[in-house]
Amino acid sequence: MREVFGETLSGRIGPWTCVDRGTGANARRGPGVDDVTVRSSAYTRRPPGLAGHLAHSGRLGVPAGPGVVEGGAIPYQPAALAKKKDNFEKRETLDPESQCWLPGVPRITYMPGPFQIVQQAERVTILYEYRSAIRYVYMNGNPHPKGPIDWWMGDSRGRWEGNTLVVDVVHFNEDTWFDRAGNFHSDALHVVERYTPTSPFHMLYEATIEDPKVFTRPWKISMPLYRRQEKDIELLDYACPGYLLEREWENPTSTYFR
């Protein structure tokens, strides 16, 4: 087995992500992960701010941030751009994250909260703190199943290019966004992720995004991932649906149950 991600370590993106936690050597493994000797790593990252993937100035409650979109613009088709603008205006209620839905790929990679990579012989398993979500990246050379298939997190098939893990992801539904700014996609989304270790404590994450129903051409995001450094840290539970249910249960004006 190619050992790329190294021993279980931890890291974080910087002092401003102090609410994030990570995973250590004694962390529990999620259901479905084989009880075998594995190589695993825990990473965290700075999520795009309210303005999303593009560079933006600060505002009350939102720090300024650089963009992660190469070229600085997302190439929307005209009708799709109009929908994106409408999404932005109604983002507080339309953002799928506000309903605690699974966030999809690549968004789950740069949401608050860490994730753990578990490397095995025929698959790479990625465990996320958000909703205890799990992704299986199959490395056995089998193709994607025939579709279309309506999945929140898509179907992931991986391969190695040197020390870079390349993950091809298809079979999405159209119900997730890329960020809190209303950037969206259709069920024709195709994502190619690249995870490249650049040091014992850093990894370059890249995602090329293609959707002929929404964009005029493929576009790409890239950002560093950081291993956590705290002692004896672990993935904790973020049971978003339960928290949302608790908040809305006694709210007579809630639309959550409609």
SS (HEC) of 166-200: EEEEECECCCCECCCCCCECCCCCEEEEEEEEEEC
Q: Which one-letter DSSP state was computed for residue 62?
A: B
58 Cβ contact partners less than 8 Å away, ≥ 6 residues apart? 64
Closest alpha carbon to 69 in 167, 156, 157, 181: 181
Angstrom distance (rounded) from CA 25 to CA 4: 17
Please give the backbone phi and psi of residue 254, each rounded to the nearest 5 degrees, phi first.
Answer: -65, 140
- When pLDDT is cut at 50, 70 and 90, the band that residue 42 belongs to is low
Angstrom distance (rounded) from CA 164 to CA 195: 6
Digit-coded pLDDT (tens) for 159-215: 999 999 999 999 999 999 999 899 999 999 999 999 999 998 899 999 999 999 999
CA of residue 227 relative to chain centroid, distance: 16
Around Cβ 157, how many Cβ atoms within 10 Å?
21
What's the pLDDT score for residue 191?
98
* Average pLDDT score over residue span 35-40: 35
Q: Which one-letter DSSP state was computed for residue 59?
A: B
Angstrom distance (rounded) from CA 186 to CA 142: 25
Least confident interval from 57-66, 81-90, 113-122, 165-174 = 57-66
CA atoms within 13 A on the CB side of 54: 11
132 Cβ contact partners less than 8 Å away, ≥ 6 residues apart? 30, 235, 237, 238, 239
Tokens of 242: 């339960």
Angstrom distance (rounded) from CA 167 to CA 159: 7
Q: What is the mean pLDDT of the chain?
A: 80
What's the pLDDT score for residue 121?
85
- When pLDDT is cut at 50, 70 and 90, the band that residue 77 belongs to is very high
Tokens of 158: 């991986």
* Average pLDDT score over residue span 61-73: 81
Closest alpha carbon to 49 in 91, 80, 86: 91
